[in-house]
Structure 1
């Protein structure tokens, strides 16, 4: 049975109308999207039978943090979904409990000689960097995902510009808060061991210093993406003084929201966070959150698979930085 336009659209992450325009060589499609559609159509056999991949099927492993982080759970799902549309790739996902460089390093060590490529959401830790480099030297192609580590031996990074994301958060807080003299801001993060979280904090503090010096960061809570810890830290901040704004760099939004509602502060404290999930969607709708800085896990899953697959085959694709999107109550995507 011939591959359909709908199947190609689903695998490429675009609409059937876009696929139709590409296959019929019509205008109105960006060059990168056109390349993605054509590669997907070829892999799915739209232009004719593809070669038997039984002996050429590559193994690809992804190492992700375990836990309640809704964005990472969505990323995991999209990685597996994308893999089902690629007969040339066998994907395995490994979940690492906790922000633990020992466990992460051990899992990377176990993959030596057993895989063609590894995508990793990694802590920027000396031991982890050494294991990534050793894994690359064993022949595996490495791609960093969501949070980059610039100094390791890798083929590329797929994720947003986290420093820019932090600057956007600072701009939103600065513009949302009324000019009322010095105001106190609380900052939450998952772990300083994630370079992406560190870069968001740097960007956030930089724009406050440049454009909003009246906003004072009075505390930084490292909560390991644990919503219960985020809840208790929020109560501590709220009970210690007048908090005007909260910026959550990582996960744990539900814990912060719970504390704000208990103290009946959800309409008085400006709350900015990351990643549009089922939970943050509801927080935007009831105005507990004021804005969400979103990145698309489906796009990131598709692009890391493309980056690593091309690298294993000897090709080279540029790193891909997905666009940031700021979501408010008024522009929540319908799906």
Structure 2
């Protein structure tokens, strides 16, 4: 049975937080303590001594990624990048598990099932008690975990790979407010995949804060959860436009842009309602070009896949790594990049 961080901490006489800092080459640990932790980790077989790495050089690193299923194009692109980039590297055995995205029990069961079979896990997780407990159990078994796109706090994860979602929400609010301009009281609406995702909750919080601070003439009349589903997004938007024919703006926190854009077009609101959303895809690119969408806040799935793979693989192999977080990028019709 593989040693855990707690085993190393107990043997070395330090905290698990200190062990985590040492194994990930973070600052804040005295050199004497660092050497003691590394020696203990090698003795317990958690990491391989440098002079013995050659014997295991050809053994592939087994990594598992748990992502939500559905019509979310960004997640599909992220999945594709994980598989493509892993396939281009030697010594990586990557498995992707697609589960029902908004069912915490299904997610927890999948995480439980990985115990004893995986060496590292990346997960886009709901912030839910059953999910947090499953992550704690998996981490206690010695498996490093990386959260993707949306973070979860107070669990022993290796790190978070993604953008600052609160900043992204503030950016969306600023864009929408500036694009609408000053004037009389106007109505805006929000769509979210699920506020059970901490990332979506943080985006909403950031958005509302900047609206309250700088654009008090804008009124959020509705917030709807559309489960990142294209058809549900279409139906909710069509109903919203009937209830509020004087709607001025929409901010979509998560996926479902295709359904929102279709509803705006069919109702004849595509050129009059300011529409800000996330993630550059083929569909949102077309919406920018025809004016249905006004701005897209993008996070690059290629970068997120690269960083998640590097973080997990290097940790399993006991190697040092530097994290380069993805950057927020605002895309308008005039600066659409090549895919």
Residue in 1 aligned with 2:117? 114
Select the residue among 99, 103, 123 that pairs with 1:100. 103
- The 2-side partners of 1:52 and 1:66 are apart by 39
Q: Equivalent residue of 2:276, what SS?
A: strand
- 8 Å contact 2:135–2:156 — kept in the other structure? yes
- 8 Å contact 1:159–1:320 — kept in the other structure? no
Query: CA offsets, 1:182-214, max 9 Å, x none?
Result: 111110000011000000000000100111111
Matched, 1:327 2:317: no
- The 2-side partners of 1:221 and 1:200 are apart by 14
- 8 Å contact 2:146–2:161 — kept in the other structure? yes
Residue in 2 aligned with 1:219? 222
Residue in 2 aligned with 1:231? 234
- 8 Å contact 1:113–1:139 — kept in the other structure? no
- The 2-side partners of 1:152 and 1:311 are apart by 17
Displacement of 1:56 after TM fit? 2.7
The residue correspondences of 1:19-98 to structure 2 (distance < 5 A) are 51=54, 56-98=59-101
The residue correspondences of 1:262-281 to structure 2 (distance < 5 A) are 262-281=266-285
Displacement of 1:243 after TM fit? 0.7
- 8 Å contact 2:61–2:119 — kept in the other structure? yes
Cα distance change, pair 320–134 in 1 and its aligned pair in 2 (3 A): farther
Residue in 2 aligned with 1:252? 256
Displacement of 1:321 after TM fit? 2.6
- 8 Å contact 2:307–2:324 — kept in the other structure? yes
Matched, 1:153 2:166: no
TM-score, scaled to structure 2: 0.82
Residue in 2 aligned with 1:308? 312
Structure 1: segments with no counterpart, 5+ residues? 1-49
Q: Equivalent residue of 2:101, what SS?
A: coil
Query: CA offsets, 1:39-84, max 9 Å, x none?
Result: xxxxxxxxxxx95757532100000000110000000000001101
- The 1-side partners of 2:230 and 2:302 are apart by 24
Displacement of 1:320 after TM fit? 4.1
Cα distance change, pair 133–100 in 1 and its aligned pair in 2 (3 A): same
Select the residue among 250, 262, 265 that pairs with 1:261. 265
Displacement of 1:236 after TM fit? 1.7
RMSD: 1.4
Query: CA offsets, 1:196-241, max 9 Å, x none?
Result: 0000000000100111111111000001001111111111221112
Displacement of 1:318 after TM fit? 5.3
The residue correspondences of 1:136-215 to structure 2 (distance < 5 A) are 136-215=139-218
Cα distance change, pair 94–228 in 1 and its aligned pair in 2 (3 A): same
Displacement of 1:86 after TM fit? 1.8
- The 2-side partners of 1:180 and 1:255 are apart by 29
- 8 Å contact 2:58–2:91 — kept in the other structure? no
Residue in 1 aligned with 2:19? none
- The 1-side partners of 2:307 and 2:155 are apart by 19
- 8 Å contact 1:190–1:224 — kept in the other structure? yes
Query: CA offsets, 1:142-178, max 9 Å, x none?
Result: 0001100121111111000000100110000000003
TM-score, scaled to structure 1: 0.83
Displacement of 1:319 after TM fit? 4.8
Q: How many pairs were matched up?
A: 286
- The 1-side partners of 2:97 and 2:218 are apart by 41
